[in-house]
Amino acid sequence: MAKLAVKSTATFPVPTIEPRAAKAAKKPDEFKSEIKPDWCPSCGDFGVLNALQKACATLGIPNKDVLCVSGIGCSSNLPGFFKTYGIHSLHGRSNPIAAGAKLANPELTVVITGGDGDGFGIGLGHFIHNMRRNLDVTYLVMDNQIYGLTTGQTSPTTTIGTQTKSTPEGCIEHPINPMALALVSGATFVARTFSGEIGHMTEVITKAISHKGFSFVDCYSPCVTYNKVNTYPWFKSRVYKLEDQKHDTADLRAALDKAFEEEKLPIGVFYKKEGVPSYEELDPTISRLGAPVKQPLDLKPADAKALKDSFR
């Protein structure tokens, strides 16, 4: 096995990070990694990956300036298939990992990806807190209403009555309403889309990434192996586009009404609030000095002396 050679250098006082590169026209293929996705054939997650790659190409973001952070689960394998920087982290912890990375280097475009179990089950608390912070990141949840990688147990969005491996007599818990939750938790961009509508999904994700502040996109992403209820045909017969309606995306109450529709399922941008400062813009350190990763590490001698004197 050939050893991979790497040119290295000793100590950087501060890592050399080139300024954010200019946007340039790109092809979606430029965001494809060498690794072939290991998802089941026709898994909804393919749609999300394709749409994300198209959105990044449309936006012309330099690959090196994107950080894709995922949790654990089928959908959380996504960063490996996406040619950017990535962190494939822990189950439920993608939000705080992303928060730490974004606060260390606010110049990055941070996209968080994962599933409904990861984001609405084990990671629910972190999800809510990142929303109320209005951190400038995009969170894409591939919502298939089932635990896929662990072979088919109930998830926080499984509907009442659905039989799964862990609910053989049907789920008896009320599902999480991710849209309503996001709307009341301070997210400044809340949208839903569907893997069966790649064009729509690409548009929504493009808007989400362009939005300044926390953007949340619930992506209906059918699990073809373990969810025999919420299938492509099931969604196809129920979704309708908000873009075709007279929906006011600035109206929080109208968005909440849409979040509680059950017979038909609206997709598109539910709510968008412009002009809210992001967490990074308000942070006392970043607002004054910029990216922490670009700060010199050494203490100035005068500061060191003043610190010591403060204890005398």
Partner 1 sequence: MAKTSMSLWIGGAAGDGNAFAGRAFIKACSRSGLHGFAYNSYQSLIRGGHVLLQTAVGPEKVYTQADDCDILIALNQDTIEREAADAALGVLYNGDRLKLDAAKLRPGAKTLALPCMKLTSNPLLQNTVALGALFQLTGLDFALFETFLKENFDKKGDAVVSGNLAAAKAGFEYSQKNFPDLGIRLPKREGRHMVMTGNQAIALGAVAGGCKFFSGYPMTPASSIMHWLSPRAAKFGLVFKQAEDELAAMNMAVGAGIAGVRPMTATSGGGFALMTEAISLAGMVEAPVVVVEVQRGGPSTGLPTKTEQGDLFQVLGAGQGDFPKAILAPIDLEDAFHSTVEAFNLAEKYQMPVMLMSDLLLSEHEGTVVDLDMDVKLERGTWAVPGQAPEDGGFFPRYADSETGVSPRAVPGQEGLMHVASSDEHDERGNLISDVHTDPAKRVLIMNKRMRKLEGVLRDFKPTRLEGPEDAELTIVGWGSTTGMMRHVMRHFNQNGAKRVNILPIRYIHPFPADDVLSILKRAKKVMAMECNYTAQLCRLIRMETGFHIQTRWLKYDGEPFYPGSTIAKVSEVLRG
- Per rule CB under 8 A, is residue 238 in the interface with partner 1? no
- Per rule CB under 8 A, is residue 295 in the interface with partner 1? yes
Instruction: Name the segment binding partner 1 (CB under 8 A); options: 150-158, 177-185, 232-240, 298-306.
Output: 298-306
Instruction: State the minimum distance, in angstroms, from the CB of residue 134 to partner 1.
Output: 14
Cβ 89 vs Cβ 72: under 8 Å: yes
Q: Give 7 or 264: the residue with its C-beta nearer to partner 1.
A: 7
Residues 69-88 contacting partner 1, CB under 8 A: 69, 72, 77, 79-80, 83-88
Q: Give 126 or 207: the residue with its C-beta nearer to partner 1.
A: 126
Cβ 85 vs Cβ 97: under 8 Å: no
Cβ 179 vs Cβ 87: under 8 Å: no
Which H or E run includes 128? helix 124-133
| Per-residue exposure over 178-214, b if at least 16 CB sit within 10 Å of its own CB, e if not | bbbbbbebbbbbbbbbbbbbbebbbbbbbbbbebbbb
Residues 14-73 contacting partner 1, CB under 8 A: 15-18, 20, 33-35, 38, 63-65, 67, 69, 72
Instruction: State the minimum distance, in angstroms, from the CB of residue 51 to partner 1.
Output: 20
| Per-residue exposure over 19-49, b if at least 16 CB sit within 10 Å of its own CB, e if not | eeeeeeebebeebbeeeebebeeebbbbbbb
> Binding string, 85-104, against partner 1, x = CB under 8 A?
xxxxxx--x-xxxxxxxxxx
Residues 167-226 contacting partner 1, CB under 8 A: none
**What residue type is assigned to position 80 of the chain?**
G
Count of residues interacting with partner 1 (CB under 8 A): 76
Instruction: State the minimum distance, in angstroms, from the CB of residue 182 to partner 1.
Output: 16
The rounded distance, in Å, linking the Cα atoms of 122 and 81 is 24
Q: Give 71 or 268: the residue with its C-beta nearer to partner 1.
A: 71
Q: Give 264 or 312: the residue with its C-beta nearer to partner 1.
A: 312
